[in-house]
């Protein structure tokens, strides 16, 4: 453990889930409530990934590799500069989550889970996002729902109001950081 890990319990929380689960809305609202660091991981996608998704093609593991590396580095920096930070990142596979965990001992996840039908209806209502509703099929096919073997993942059901989802995420973070 590095000296900072022992001295300051800085925490990074990755808000994860498929596109349309509310990651960006929840993450930004949580960061406002807690007045903490915030990064929408979509901003770190390479241009080729954005263009590929905009054309309706799903990303593969090769496409995601540089993005995950950039997110891991961002998490590393954030846990050294912020007491609490929130990163929005789909983190669909356990292997992706493991990449983010590597070298980031103060990182954990908040999984926003919902049914395909609920999330599809939300995606169809979206405007101005590069993720196409038909891409949801590939997102669910890729998703490995975190199980008991990942105790650093809190599960929040999104079949409730945004305010309640945000409140549940804030409550989880406060409990984990003993923040008042």
Give the residue extent of every domain in the chain: 3-177
Compute CA distances 17 → 35, 110, 177, whole Å.
Answer: 23, 9, 22
Q: How far apart are CA 29 and CA 172, in angstroms?
A: 14
pTM to 2 decimals?
0.88
Q: How far apart are CA 95 and CA 63, in angstroms?
A: 14
Average of per-residue pLDDT values in the chain: 89
Residue 180: predicted pLDDT: 39
pLDDT digits over 132-166, tens only?
A: 556 788 889 999 999 999 999 999 999 999 999 99
Residue 31 pLDDT exceeds 60: yes
The fold of 3-177 is: Rossmann fold (3.40.50)
């Amino acid at each position: 453990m590095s000296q900072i890990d022992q001295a300051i319990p800085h925490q990074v929380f990755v808000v994860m889930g498929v596109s349309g689960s509310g990651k960006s809305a929840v993450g930004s609202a949580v960061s406002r409530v807690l007045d903490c660091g915030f990064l929408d991981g979509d901003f770190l996608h390479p241009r080729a990934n954005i263009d590929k998704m905009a054309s309706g093609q799903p990303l593969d593991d090769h496409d995601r590799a540089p993005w995950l590396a950039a997110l891991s580095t961002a998490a590393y920096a954030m846990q050294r500069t912020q007491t609490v930070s929130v990163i929005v990142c789909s983190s669909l596979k356990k292997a992706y989550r493991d990449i983010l965990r590597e070298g980031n001992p103060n990182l954990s996840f908040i999984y926003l889970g919902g049914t395909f039908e609920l999330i599809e209806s939300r995606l169809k209502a979206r405007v101005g996002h590069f993720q196409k509703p038909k891409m949801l099929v590939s997102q669910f096919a890729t998703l490995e729902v975190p199980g008991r073997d990942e105790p650093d993942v809190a599960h929040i059901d999104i079949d409730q109001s945004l305010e309640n989802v945000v409140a549940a995420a804030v409550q989880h973070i406060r409990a984990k950081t003993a923040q008042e």
